Amino acid sequence: MARSITTQRKTINTVLAWAIGLLIFFPILWTILTSFKTEAQAINDPPIFLFFDWTLENYSVVQERSNYARFLWNSIFIAGGSTLLGVIIAIPAAWSMAFVPSKRTKDILLWMLSTKMLPAVGVLYPIYLLFIKFGLLDSVLGLTIVIMLINLPIIVWMLYTYFREIPVDILEAARMDGASLKSEILYVLTPMAVPGIASTLLLNFILAWNEAFWTLNLTAAKAGPLTAFIASYSSPEGLFYAKLSAASTMAILPILILGWFSQKQLVRGLTFGAVK
């Protein structure tokens, strides 16, 4: 009896999980479908789901109008660069907070997180002026730095949480064996926290990839990533939904593929330390 209840619950849970998953994925699916419609089909009322004349015209228009490869390269550089840079800075910071905490550690952690509570537009002008001063406007390097700084509190927090799950005795044993601080972090701590570091890398890569405020406000013709590419197809005066959907699909496809192939690591990392 108990077994049948468990099976029933499992079935319900599975159906529920799929239903929620599909619900979350539906807007993305709709965007992909719309990208293959004509502009007239895109606005049809009632909406057309699958039975329409599929066309690649929107993709060809988008390819003709925009330099997709340049936007894609900028996205990869900015998201990859800012994530790597962030992790390099955050690992020693998280190590210190997790294993050598001071009286102020908790305050520092909360203060770091509080910087995320400020609306980005509140610091737009100071950062814009700094970018002018240092010649970083419309540069991939400038954007990489800014996005790294924005995501740094999250990276530190995530790594701190993972590091806290690692028994301090292991690090002490390494020290007794004569490991230097560098060796302790590089050869003892980091390998043990690989799932956590991997999920931190992935999550921050996704966050950096999707960042749209700074990438729109600090770029012009050269450093714009895929978020700027999508923004160039949005219009309040003219129906270009099919083209906008084609641009959006092209922008999200790389990150969707990355997410699909790394979902195991992502889930493993996110649940790391959740169950003892």
Partner 1 sequence: MKNLIRTTIGATVMSLLASTALADGHSKTLTIATVNNGDMIRMQKYTDDFTKKTGHKVEWVTLEENVLRQRVTTDITTKGGAFDIMTIGMYETPIWGKNGWLVSLNDLSAEYDAADILPAMKGGLSYEGTMFAAPFYGESSMVMYRSDLMEKAGMKMPDAPTWEFIRKAAAAMTDRDNEINGICLRGKAGWGEGGAFITAMSNSFGARWFDEKWNAQFDTEEWKNTLTFFKGMMTESGPPGYATNGFNENLSLFQQGKCGMWIDATVAASFVTNPKDSTVADKVGFALAPDNGLGKRSNWLWAWALAIPAGTKKEAAAKEFIEWATSKSYIELVAEKEGWANVPPGARTSLYENPNYKDIPFAKMTLDSILSADPDNSTVKPSPYVGVQFAAIPEFAGIATDVSQEFSAAYAGQQTIEEALAKAQALTNDAMEAAGYK
Q: What is the DSSP letter of 54?
A: -
Residue 66 CB, nearest approach to partner 1 (Å) = 8
Residue 226 CB, nearest approach to partner 1 (Å) = 14
Query: What does each C-alpha distance from 174 to 82, 88, 153, 180 come to in angstroms?
Result: 31, 22, 28, 9
Q: Is 43 in the site for partner 1 (CB under 8 A)?
A: yes
Task: Select the span of 40-48, 74-82, 168-176, 259-267 touching partner 1 (CB under 8 A).
Answer: 40-48
Task: Select the span of 43-51, 72-80, 103-111, 179-187 touching partner 1 (CB under 8 A).
Answer: 43-51
The residue among 106 and 222 lying less far from partner 1, judged by its C-beta, is 222
The residue among 126 and 167 lying less far from partner 1, judged by its C-beta, is 126
Tokens found for residue 164: 């806290």
- Nearest alpha-carbon partner for 269 in 159, 126, 170: 159
Q: Is 128 in the site for partner 1 (CB under 8 A)?
A: yes
Spell out, one character per residue from 193 to 232, where the chain touches partner 1: x when CB under 8 A holds, - when not: -----------------------xx-xxxx-x---x--xx
Q: Which of 119, 167, 178, 238 is the binder for partner 1 (CB under 8 A)?
A: 238
Q: What is the DSSP annotation of 166-207?
A: S-HHHHHHHHHTT--HHHIIIIIIHHHTHHHHHHHHHHHHHH
Q: What is the DSSP letter of 232?
A: T
Residue 33 CB, nearest approach to partner 1 (Å) = 17
Q: Is 125 in the site for partner 1 (CB under 8 A)?
A: yes
Tokens found for residue 27: 């807007």
- Nearest alpha-carbon partner for 127 in 137, 119, 118: 137
Q: Which of 7, 8, 44, 115 is the binder for partner 1 (CB under 8 A)?
A: 44
Q: Is 10 in the site for partner 1 (CB under 8 A)?
A: no
Give the C-alpha separation, 128 to 218, whole Å: 7
Task: Select the span of 15-23, 96-104, 110-118, 126-134 touching partner 1 (CB under 8 A).
Answer: 126-134
Number of residues that bind partner 1 (CB under 8 A): 32
The residue among 120 and 149 lying less far from partner 1, judged by its C-beta, is 120
Q: Is 239 in the site for partner 1 (CB under 8 A)?
A: yes
Look-up: residue for tokens 């955050």? 90
Burial of 46 (0-12, 13-18, 19+ CB in 10 A): exposed
Cβ partners under 8 Å of residue 209, min gap 6: 75, 79, 225, 226, 255
Classified as helix, coil or strand, 70 is helix
Which residues of this protein are in contact with partner 1, per CB under 8 A? 39-40, 43-45, 65, 124-125, 128-129, 131-132, 137-138, 216-217, 219-222, 224, 228, 231-240
